[in-house]
Structure 1
Amino acid sequence: MSAILGIDIGGSGIKGAPVDTTTGKLLEDRHRIPTPEGAHPEAVKDVVAELARHFGVDGPIGVTFPGIVQHGRTLSAANVDKAWIGLDADALFTQATGQAVHLINDADAAGLAEARFGAGAGVNGTVLVLTFGTGIGSALIHNGVLVPNTELGHLWLRDKEAEGWASDRARERDDLNWKQWSKRVSTYLQHLELLFSPDLFIIGGGVSKKADKWQEHIKLERSTLVPAKLLNEAGIIGAAMMAQEGGAEPEKKGESAKKPTASRTAPKPDGKGAKKK
């Protein structure tokens, strides 16, 4: 068993737990500390260090970040302090904790976890994980290998960014019912089908808990769609996976891989998206 501490930086809370990276299971209850107002790097650094002390794990630490992460540097800061832009965050957190810290984009972390231990476990080919919340996060994975920082929520669609039109926040802002929102999501997913031809879509974020309200309304041309399984633990698990690999995108393990199982949104033989009853 390999116990790696995973830490997930969110807009309202920073939470962590040690993870058994061979099974994807949390080894202790999550510990959560409120995100400091403004989320300045120095303040967030102190919280990460506090979480490391709380669990007392000796070894590498994985940390998610809500923005672009390239070679340990944070390159965007949409919902955090602008001081993150261009920062060597790996070095900042490594110095603060005394352990080797590796950052990963939060959606990428959730995607890795879902692909190996969640809804995409054992699925070969191209898996596209999308998290619907304040925006739309994305993780593109092929045969278990992550293509980092895809940022597909920023695709231009219908004269605006997709996440400004099809995110869960857009649903609430425009007072859409689930069927109305699903029509927008279907348009977005069909566009992604044309670009990437994924074998499987995994839909995460808060909406994954309410899949019974929207899944039957999603119409796809040829891809299978399932809700995410790991929910709030996905970021912690994916961060730990990244740290175990020393910051390199980990490959999916396992002797065999299977094709996506049929779902109610799987394609029909005539190529049309299956309709719900």
Structure 2
Amino acid sequence: MNVFGVDIGGSGIKGAPVDLARGEVTAERFKVLTPHPATPDAVADGVAEVVRHFGGVRGPVGATFPGVVVGGTTRTAANVDKGWIGMDAAGLLGERLGAPVTLLNDADAAGLAEMSFGAGRGRKGTVVVLTFGTGIGSAVFTGGRLVPNTELGHLELKGHDAETRASSRAKEDGGLTWARWARRVQKYLAHVEMLFSPELFVIGGGVSRKADKFLPLIEGISAEIVPAALENNAGIVGAAMAASAAGAVPAAAA
């Protein structure tokens, strides 16, 4: 059975139906720009536009959010409007779409997909999935189990939130070369490695499509470093998986 997944990011909102058995989107994803300001109502309109592109939905929807999500409520809003803080976001999106919505952190969703279908599949040690985009998202797994809402993009690096120096947006805004940006990413990975000692880093987000331009430049990290296999579709796939795991999809159908 296919379940619809939506990935809400600081710069774009994208979605597609997902084949839960294969961990793949079944149609080319559709994307709209994240509105600015990214208020709850404006973002909900964007999500509805993505869903309408596919003729609407007739079942559950999984959705991601770029911040801490607990029980469908958004607790932080680093790269979207502060009106999200304390919002019953799953309820808002569900009302707008007319379908049950399961909401989770965007990097957690990407991590779930990578651990089940991608670069982390079969790994039982500590795995850290990092998504580089408007910010830096993180998903930490140990023994194949997720530790949710780690938000390691907000670790301090050179006196600042790490994502303000090492995210993809920081590269673009600063006009950094791949080599210079790779040095910043290297320092960030070294800090995360010191804290968690993972056996594997999975590097995701849109920049994962260009992993060959910066991953070979990163040195001095003990953990294996690989690009995300699902690239920028990981969040969509993970969102759909979360909707299934929440019980919104009958087990036999999923």
| Distance in 2 between residues matched to 1:180 and 1:80, nearest whole Å | 27
| Distance in 1 between residues matched to 2:108 and 2:98, nearest whole Å | 25
| Distance in 1 between residues matched to 2:185 and 2:42, nearest whole Å | 36
Unaligned runs of 5+ in 1: 249-277
1:14 aligns with: 13
Unaligned runs of 5+ in 2: 249-254
1:39 aligns with: 38
| TM-score of the pair, normalised by structure 2 | 0.88
| Distance in 2 between residues matched to 1:230 and 1:66, nearest whole Å | 18
The structure-2 alpha-carbon separation of the partners of 1:247 and 1:109, relative to structure 1 and needing over 3 Å to count, comes to: farther
The structure-2 alpha-carbon separation of the partners of 1:11 and 1:222, relative to structure 1 and needing over 3 Å to count, comes to: closer
The structure-2 alpha-carbon separation of the partners of 1:180 and 1:31, relative to structure 1 and needing over 3 Å to count, comes to: closer
The structure-2 alpha-carbon separation of the partners of 1:177 and 1:13, relative to structure 1 and needing over 3 Å to count, comes to: closer
Aligned length: 247
The CA deviation at 1:155 is 0.7
Question: What letter is aligned with 1:41?
Answer: P
Query: Kindly, what percent of the aligned residue pairs are identical?
Result: 58
The structure-2 alpha-carbon separation of the partners of 1:174 and 1:247, relative to structure 1 and needing over 3 Å to count, comes to: farther
The structure-2 alpha-carbon separation of the partners of 1:36 and 1:153, relative to structure 1 and needing over 3 Å to count, comes to: closer
1:108 aligns with: 108
The structure-2 alpha-carbon separation of the partners of 1:220 and 1:114, relative to structure 1 and needing over 3 Å to count, comes to: farther
CA contact (8 A) 2:204 2:232 kept: no
Residues 143-192 of structure 1 show CA distances to partners (whole Å, capped at 9, x for unaligned) of: 33211111111111222222222223333444433222222222221221
The structure-2 alpha-carbon separation of the partners of 1:81 and 1:229, relative to structure 1 and needing over 3 Å to count, comes to: same
Structure 2 SS opposite 1:38: coil
| Distance in 2 between residues matched to 1:12 and 1:168, nearest whole Å | 11
2:251 aligns with: none
Structure 2 SS opposite 1:229: coil
| TM-score of the pair, normalised by structure 1 | 0.81
Q: Which is greater in Rg? A: 1
Q: Aligned runs of 1:208-223 on 2, under 5 Å? A: 208-223=208-223
1:199 aligns with: 199
The CA deviation at 1:215 is 1.6
